[in-house]
Structure 1
Amino acid sequence: MSIDFLKKYFFGDVQSSSDVSSVAFQQSALRILLALTLCIFLVSEVHFLFTAGDYSFLAINSVYLAALIGLLYLSRRYEKATAILFLFTLVTASILLLTLSNEFHAEKYALISLYSLPLITRLLFTFKASIVAMVANLYPFYLITNNSWMGSAEFLDSANLLTSADALAGASIAPSFYFQMLTFVTLNIGLPLAVSRIIQTLESHAIKMKDLNQKLNSHYAMYEEFFENTGTPSLLCDQRGKVLKANQLCRHLLTGGIKKSLAHSNITDWLTPAGENSRFAWQSDMAECTLKSDSQTHINIRRASLTEHGHLVIHLENTTELKAIQQELESTQETNSRLAHFDVLTRLPNHRHFCQQVNQRLAEHDKHVTGAMFIIRISQFKLLNKQYGKDNANKVILSFAKTLTHKLSDQAVVGRLRGVKFSCFIPLSQTYLIQKNLSELIKSILPKQITVEGNKLNMEYQVGIAYYHTDGKNAEALLERCEMALEYSNSVERFSFYNNNLENKLIEEHTLGLSLSSAIKNKHITIWLQPQVNASGDICSFEALARWQHNGQYIPPPQFISIAENLGLLPLLAENLVRALVETLTDWQKEHIHTPIAFNLAGQELMNDGFFAFLMALVTDKPWLKDRLELEITETSPVMTHPLVHKRLRSLSQYGYSIAIDDFGTGQASLGQLVDIPANILKIDRRFVFPLPHDQRHVDIVKSTIQLAKSLDMKVIAEGIETKEQATLLIAMGCNTLQGYYYGKPSPMTDWTSHSNAKAKTLRMVY
């Protein structure tokens, strides 16, 4: 303990401090010099006490001994002041020796002490302070060299330096002078400079070491932080699996959050490796383990790298949740496979799996085998869904699928495509290659009734049929042909067989649709006008009819109107035609030609917000237009029963538009439409006019319709009049307005507007 205390006192706490500064060095040097000087004076004090001697030196020695003890004590807190006092003590002691002692050796050591002051000053202070001490020593050296200290010949004799008076002069004094100079230069200049150089080098190295130490500490802190915050439980171990270091995530994973030290433990103390190489699992690139404390916790260990020191960096990954997910996926693999290949409701093959099964069946049999593919669509399913609800509608689908599968042979393949569409493929014998026989076979397997909640429902179907080999070589092609055939099935012809004409017709309609779209956008659809006359034969109004000339021939209006409706182009077509009509009506307004023009709407246009706003804006900008532009609504349009159409027709009626119901008697809920639609014009369809006057039944129907219209204060227009007899009978029945080829065929609107509307003016339409 005493040795450790002395080391700490004289040399400082070097091990605990990395800062080896000049202050610590000077403090250590001061304490060492004080201690050594104190020891010398202490020995001297003891010597003087036990030997007879000069008591004045004993007193002075005691004083200096006490002073040195005090300085040694003060050096613990006041290093600089103590160092200054120590130098002062040495200087005074040297001067006293020179002045009071007559011994040659005492004077010699006094001079050596003075010459050593620069060296001691350099150890305790700075280099500049040692330079000051060097310069100060020039004065003692000067005095010595001029013999200022040697005042008598006895002194020279006592020193044995000279043997005669002649030795005080001449060349005999030269060796002593040079020896004194050598001593002075060595002690006063050489050693301080050499020590300064050593101290400077040490300080420079100490600074570099300090910088290096700071960098090392910074790098260590960075690597420590990186190791702790990798985001992955990691540890460092040796080749035997001994844990050298572990980050916090690793400690938490292995100990389960309990604060336990991993130091000096082995990986096998915490993990139980799985597999054959369980003993050295940590040396593998990848290995699976479980926690010893919890066998349900699965951990993957991965060796990241082999360090230069032969240590292994191991990353741990908790795969417990992943294992659970994998087990869940494995347990539901069959279910997922079924979902991918089968319909959820009926458990029949879906579209893709159905095609795979059919193609596999075709590949297994002889190429000369024949078969039929057909798609069945339940016709009234939307009504069933609305009437009985979705759940019961699904029961209908499920019951149908079970019945169909039960009635078909094992050789047949049945699938559900989507919604209410089912696909079937059956091998055929020669008998059923005849379409009539195949139709009867399909009818026999389709259930005619299905029971839902105790109620028996009559089932209706539409079927598209295609033959294997003739219409397609694989399931995909056959299904495509069946879809084409199904498009042309209807309530009358429910069984539709594919033929090339159907495909050609679809291709033709597609090509025609592209041309129609371009024609509508470029405003190539023209307007023709057909006159409507009163009982006296005067033209009172016109009906605007759309005409399209394509590749030199006119396309029938029902055909291109139907295509435009399917393509959603009716709103744009109607807007273009109405703008053209408004332009003509504006010119006629200026010419005082006040003849209305009726424009036909199919219903889809009124469902369009933009077109409806366009009609409302027209009468806002041109109030007179409401008396010139009549709107005819085709009653056969499916959307005519839509509540939004009724609401918008009422708005148009309130704005002043005249609204006519076209083709009355041929659509759905005709009498109901008279209540829901605010119409003031009723048009009798040509199908009721054509049999007149010979068919009494049609005569009664037309007469009743005219009386019904008059009772509702509605104007009646009969169209399709081709003979004088028809015109005479209708006038007699009270029909207000007549239209047909008998009075005039449709003609281009330009015929009526050319030459400043000359033709319109000559037909007595200027009032």
Structure 2
Amino acid sequence: MFIDFLKRYFLLNSDSATEGHEKVFQQSALRILLALTICIFVVSEFHTLYFINETSFLTINAGYLCLLTGLLYFSRKYTQLTAILFLLTLITTSFLLLTLSDEFHAEKYALISLYSLPLITRLLFSFKASLAAMVINIYPFYLMTTDSLSNIQTDLTASFYFQLLTFVTLNIGLPLAVSRIIQTLENNASHMQLLYQKLNDNYALYEEFFENTGTPTLLCDQRGKILKANQLARELLSDSEQNTVSNSTIANWLSPTGAAGRFFWQSNVAECTLKQKANVHIEVRRASLTQHGYYVLHLQNTTQLKAIQQELENTQQTNSRLAHFDLLTLLPNYRHFCSQTNQRINEQNRHLTGAMFIIRISQFKLLNKQYGKDNANKIILNFAKMLQKKLSEHTIIGRLRGVKFSCFVPLSQAYLIQKNLSALIHSVLPSQITVEGSKLNMDYQVGIAYYQTDGKTAEELLEHCEMALEYSSSAERFSYYNRTLENKLIEEHKLGLKLSTAIKNKQVSIWLQPQVRPNGQICSFEALARWQTDGQFIPPTTFIKIAEKLGLLPLLAENLVRELVNTLSSWHKERIYTPIAFNLAGQELMNDAFFALLMTLIADNPWLKDMLELEITETSSVMTHPLIHKRLRSLSQYGYSIAIDDFGTGQASLGQLVDIPANILKIDRRFVSPLPGDQRHVDIVKSTIQLAESLGMTVIAEGIETKEQANLLAALGCQTLQGYYFAKPSPMSDWTAKDNAKAKELRMVY
């Protein structure tokens, strides 16, 4: 205990030092020098007390003891000051002995003390301070050699040479040698510190790599002791992120199965189960670190795969039959489904009738993005199970790919009528699916073809079902194959190729239809896309639908928005403050690049918030997606005006008034056309206007074709009117030609 205390007190511990290794070294050297000096004075005190008994000497000696003890006490807190006082004490004492004492031994002690001053100074301070001490020592050397030099007639005495040798050795040689050693040690310490820093950096890099391998990973020795485990491994083995796995053994957590031996971690691949959960299967893969003799083990949870393999084994399905089934749903794949269907057709007599249909889960990409891949797979799996449960045992069910399922159903005469068959198919499709306690509304598109009428083989029927499926829509989700449909698909395909080229070459133009006040003054425009090919205009409903199917809407919208912004910039410079409304169908807002473009445009051009309005056309269920609502809220916060187009039709509903931050409501032409003769429609339009007014929204009525309709809507409080009665759409170039002359003529400059 006492030895340990002395080590801690005199040698210190550099790890606990707060001012670096150099400070620790100086403090340790100071304590040792003070302690040794105190010991000498203590011995001298006792010797004087018992043998000499000289009161004056005892008093001086006691004073020095008190001074040195005080310096030793304050050496930790005031190291530099204590060292300076110690040196001053040493110098003062030595000079007093040298000048006042006539005793030879006292002079010798004083000289040795003074000559040792540079060495002590180097231990306690810097090399420059040691050099200063060397210079100071020239004076005592001069005093001691003056008498000898004055008595020399011709030659220097031996005493002078002895004093010179002592002076050079103690005052110069030893301090320089010690300085060299200290410098070497400091250089080595600095080098070691750099190496230590590099080692720490490498260790940190190793730690980061080990923690982020992407798989549960263990580091263990040959005996199976776990030296380190990353977070994934800790969660897999102990259901906890805490480091309870390290310093245990692999055998504490895993039990080998099959042919794996006692030291299963030394095998290249070993199958194991968790001891805490025997139903959890773990595959252990070894990577040997021969240089250190350790093993890196990668763990993989194979429970789900084992469950699938077990189910296949229970039904006596071999690996060769896996090629015929979908691994997720265990339904026949395309090839095996066709084989089973053709076999059924060949086995039955020629009077067999049936229907082939393909079911596609709508908007599954959005579900995949919203709920993640694992939950999306659960949706597919649950749908397959419910479909099998509801269809008869005579039905052949398969999974084609992705979210497409195929069914072949033998039919009775009653279901040869399309209406009855549609009702049958609709009855077996689950309207909701539960995933982890949450109920999801399901929506489908179905392509149907009749056996014998539309095809004689499974392959031919599936091909015709695919064609019918392509022609299904949000309004007509059940589509039947027919020859005319096939020709339409071919024409649509050709038209799609032309449209793709036209969009890339920016050949789709913008037309503007005025929106007016009840007094007839133009207050804004609606931008409409128009496309002309082979000398004729293609209806917007046709080419917009094709663009949506081909995923071209974001590019088309980007081209049109940039053209609109250029025109609006020109109008802004001319002080023509007339807004233009631009239609969005939803697919564009799901596109990150187009959304970023809208945000950038209004950030770069703040005035654009008063000139560019966004109309949301609710034609598909994509508009109910939370991401659409989130992005619309962001656009509204940035200053865009949001209008709900075709309100009361399609997906537009009262619920959208809550989810979408709109400040403009457009009444669809479907409700305007019957006016003013249909009182029911009058009441609907009136209540819609009152609803909008209560929400602080502006109302626009479109599709106005008669004066009576315009007067009635104005009387009901509609602020903005649009329709052929006021003006038909015309090319935007008509309004921008001749330096925006037409726009200026219509008193749109304020």
TM-score, normalisation: structure 1:
0.50
Cα distance in 1 for residues equivalent to 2:367 and 2:590: 26
Q: Does residue 531 in structure 1 map to residue 514 in structure 2?
A: yes
Label 1:343 to 1:402 Cα distance change in 2 as closer, same or farther (>3 A).
Answer: farther
Cα distance in 2 for residues equivalent to 1:456 and 1:619: 39
Q: Which residue does 1:375 correspond to in 2?
A: 357
Q: Please state how far the C-alpha of 1:731 moved relative to its aligned partner.
A: 0.7
Q: Which residue does 2:565 correspond to in 1?
A: 582
Q: Please state how far the C-alpha of 1:481 moved relative to its aligned partner.
A: 0.8
Q: Please state how far the C-alpha of 1:455 moved relative to its aligned partner.
A: 14
Q: Does residue 761 in structure 1 map to residue 714 in structure 2?
A: no
Q: Which residue does 2:681 correspond to in 1?
A: 698
- Map 1:472-511 → 2, pairs under 5 A: 472-489=455-472, 496-511=479-494
Q: Does residue 634 in structure 1 map to residue 640 in structure 2?
A: no
User: Contact 1:466–1:482 at 8 Å: present in 2 too?
Assistant: yes
Q: Please state how far the C-alpha of 1:712 moved relative to its aligned partner.
A: 2.2
Q: Please state how far the C-alpha of 1:737 moved relative to its aligned partner.
A: 0.8
Cα distance in 2 for residues equivalent to 1:540 and 1:451: 49
Q: Please state how far the C-alpha of 1:675 moved relative to its aligned partner.
A: 2.7
Aligned residues: 434
Q: Please state how far the C-alpha of 1:541 moved relative to its aligned partner.
A: 1.0
Q: Which residue does 1:607 correspond to in 2?
A: 590
Cα distance in 2 for residues equivalent to 1:445 and 1:643: 29
Q: Which residue does 2:324 correspond to in 1?
A: 341
The one of 542, 547, 551 aligned to 1:564: 547
Q: Which residue does 2:391 correspond to in 1?
A: 404
Deviations 1:294-330 (A, max 9, x none): xxxxxxxxxxxxxxxxxxxxxxxxxxxxxxxxxx999
Q: Does residue 732 in structure 1 map to residue 704 in structure 2?
A: no
User: Contact 2:358–2:466 at 8 Å: present in 1 too?
Assistant: no
Label 1:434 to 1:736 Cα distance change in 2 as closer, same or farther (>3 A).
Answer: same
Query: SS at the partner of 1:741?
Result: coil
Query: SS at the partner of 2:681?
Result: helix
- Map 1:167-316 → 2, pairs under 5 A: none
Label 1:505 to 1:534 Cα distance change in 2 as closer, same or farther (>3 A).
Answer: same
Q: Which residue does 1:743 correspond to in 2?
A: 726
Deviations 1:392-446 (A, max 9, x none): 974563353255343x3xxx655443566543446779x5795459838966995
Q: Which residue does 1:72 correspond to in 2?
A: none
Q: Please state how far the C-alpha of 1:533 moved relative to its aligned partner.
A: 0.7
Q: Which residue does 2:635 correspond to in 1?
A: 652
Query: SS at the partner of 1:636?
Result: coil
Tell me which structure has the larger Cα radius of gyration: 1
Aligned residues with identical type, % of pairs: 69
Query: SS at the partner of 2:615?
Result: strand
Structure 1 residues not aligned, in runs of 5+:
1-327
> Which range moved further: 685-694 or 663-672?
663-672
Label 1:695 to 1:593 Cα distance change in 2 as closer, same or farther (>3 A).
Answer: same
Aligned letter for 2:388?
A
Aligned letter for 1:352?
R
Q: Which residue does 2:667 correspond to in 1?
A: 684
Query: SS at the partner of 1:547?
Result: strand
Cα distance in 1 for residues equivalent to 2:564 and 2:443: 45
The one of 602, 618, 621 aligned to 2:604: 621
Q: Does residue 522 in structure 1 map to residue 509 in structure 2?
A: no
Cα distance in 2 for residues equivalent to 1:611 and 1:687: 31
The one of 538, 556, 562 aligned to 1:573: 556
Label 1:611 to 1:413 Cα distance change in 2 as closer, same or farther (>3 A).
Answer: closer
Label 1:390 to 1:654 Cα distance change in 2 as closer, same or farther (>3 A).
Answer: closer
Q: Which residue does 1:173 correspond to in 2?
A: none
Aligned letter for 1:549?
Q
Q: Which residue does 2:532 correspond to in 1?
A: 549
Label 1:344 to 1:765 Cα distance change in 2 as closer, same or farther (>3 A).
Answer: closer
Cα distance in 2 for residues equivalent to 1:444 and 1:590: 58
Label 1:701 to 1:417 Cα distance change in 2 as closer, same or farther (>3 A).
Answer: same
User: Contact 2:361–2:404 at 8 Å: present in 1 too?
Assistant: no
Query: SS at the partner of 1:546?
Result: strand
Q: Please state how far the C-alpha of 1:354 moved relative to its aligned partner.
A: 1.8
User: Contact 1:629–1:657 at 8 Å: present in 2 too?
Assistant: yes
Deviations 1:330-354 (A, max 9, x none): 9999421332223457655332112
Q: Please state how far the C-alpha of 1:477 moved relative to its aligned partner.
A: 1.8
Q: Please state how far the C-alpha of 1:562 moved relative to its aligned partner.
A: 1.6
Q: Please state how far the C-alpha of 1:560 moved relative to its aligned partner.
A: 1.1
Cα distance in 1 for residues equivalent to 2:526 and 2:403: 42
Cα distance in 2 for residues equivalent to 1:564 and 1:542: 24
Query: SS at the partner of 2:528?
Result: strand
Label 1:615 to 1:336 Cα distance change in 2 as closer, same or farther (>3 A).
Answer: same
User: Contact 1:381–1:420 at 8 Å: present in 2 too?
Assistant: no
User: Contact 1:375–1:421 at 8 Å: present in 2 too?
Assistant: no
Label 1:622 to 1:449 Cα distance change in 2 as closer, same or farther (>3 A).
Answer: closer
Query: SS at the partner of 2:454?
Result: coil
Cα distance in 1 for residues equivalent to 2:326 and 2:520: 67
Cα distance in 2 for residues equivalent to 1:679 and 1:456: 29
Q: Please state how far the C-alpha of 1:527 moved relative to its aligned partner.
A: 0.6
- Map 1:702-717 → 2, pairs under 5 A: 702-717=685-700
Label 1:396 to 1:592 Cα distance change in 2 as closer, same or farther (>3 A).
Answer: closer
User: Contact 2:358–2:462 at 8 Å: present in 1 too?
Assistant: no
Label 1:653 to 1:434 Cα distance change in 2 as closer, same or farther (>3 A).
Answer: closer
Cα distance in 1 for residues equivalent to 2:695 and 2:589: 25
Aligned letter for 2:357?
I
Q: Please state how far the C-alpha of 1:720 moved relative to its aligned partner.
A: 0.8
Q: Please state how far the C-alpha of 1:457 moved relative to its aligned partner.
A: 13
Query: SS at the partner of 1:610?
Result: helix
User: Contact 1:345–1:398 at 8 Å: present in 2 too?
Assistant: no
User: Contact 1:722–1:740 at 8 Å: present in 2 too?
Assistant: yes
User: Contact 2:386–2:430 at 8 Å: present in 1 too?
Assistant: no
Q: Please state how far the C-alpha of 1:745 moved relative to its aligned partner.
A: 0.5
Deviations 1:272-304 (A, max 9, x none): xxxxxxxxxxxxxxxxxxxxxxxxxxxxxxxxx
Aligned letter for 1:748?
P
Cα distance in 1 for residues equivalent to 2:594 and 2:602: 13
Q: Which residue does 1:39 correspond to in 2?
A: none
Query: SS at the partner of 1:397?
Result: helix
Q: Please state how far the C-alpha of 1:633 moved relative to its aligned partner.
A: 1.6
Aligned letter for 1:708?
L
User: Contact 1:596–1:627 at 8 Å: present in 2 too?
Assistant: yes
User: Contact 2:577–2:611 at 8 Å: present in 1 too?
Assistant: yes
The one of 335, 339, 352 aligned to 1:352: 335
Q: Which residue does 1:439 correspond to in 2?
A: 421
Label 1:398 to 1:641 Cα distance change in 2 as closer, same or farther (>3 A).
Answer: closer
Cα distance in 1 for residues equivalent to 2:329 and 2:317: 17
Cα distance in 1 for residues equivalent to 2:698 and 2:517: 11
Q: Please state how far the C-alpha of 1:484 moved relative to its aligned partner.
A: 2.0
The one of 547, 569, 578 aligned to 1:595: 578
Deviations 1:120-176 (A, max 9, x none): xxxxxxxxxxxxxxxxxxxxxxxxxxxxxxxxxxxxxxxxxxxxxxxxxxxxxxxxx
- Map 1:70-85 → 2, pairs under 5 A: none
Q: Please state how far the C-alpha of 1:666 moved relative to its aligned partner.
A: 2.0
RMSD: 4.2
